[in-house]
Amino acid sequence: MQNDESYMRMREFSRVDAHVPFAVRLVPPEERPNIKSKISGETILAEFQTLTDVEDKLLSDWLKMLNAKLDSIISMLTFQREGFGSLPFVQVNISGGGLGFNSKEKYNQGDVLEIKMLLPMMPPVALYIYGEVVKIEQQINSYAIAVKFIAMDEDIRDEIVKFVFRRQREMLREKRR
């Protein structure tokens, strides 16, 4: 069983249910020392330098707009190349500390999972994140799996937290109607 401190850490973040493109894979023990969560496409876009401002304000604004469009196209191409466009939609319960999902596959406590997920934001955020299985519950035809995020830096956690807050705002708006 997990210790109380790690459980409280997972619970310090707000949680929401969401329907997102999602896939999971068991990480074999030999790969575990080298795992690190990442945002897909970050390495491609990091290779390009940011533009310096041009003195002509109108030209500068146009160049920034074109640059933003090119970044979007590169991201979309990267999503397609890495298979994010064909991921099935899965209901998850997500927070900055971990997530829960149902699986036909049975995992064991302590297993490390690679989660490939697309957060529907503007622009979309494609993630490879890692989680350690902390809880498994037998359902009728599946297993309820809970994982705590590991090998994740704060930038990635911030993207997840932003998504959670945005999703909470959407849910509040829907309740008011």
The domain that contains 128 carries what CATH number?
Answer: 2.40.10.220
> Which carries the bigger pLDDT value, residue 99 or residue 64?
99
Same domain, 13 and 62: no
Helix (H) or strand (E) holding 150: strand 143-150
Same domain, 29 and 56: no
Report yes or no: 108 and 133 within 8 Å, Cβ to Cβ.
Answer: yes
Domain boundary among 57, 81, 105: 81
| Other CB atoms within 10 Å distance of the CB of residue 85 | 12
> How do residues 26-56 score in pLDDT, each as one tens digit?
999 999 999 999 987 654 444 555 666 778 8
> How do residues 109-137 score in pLDDT, each as one tens digit?
999 999 999 998 877 888 999 999 999 99
Number of structural domains, the chain? Answer: 2
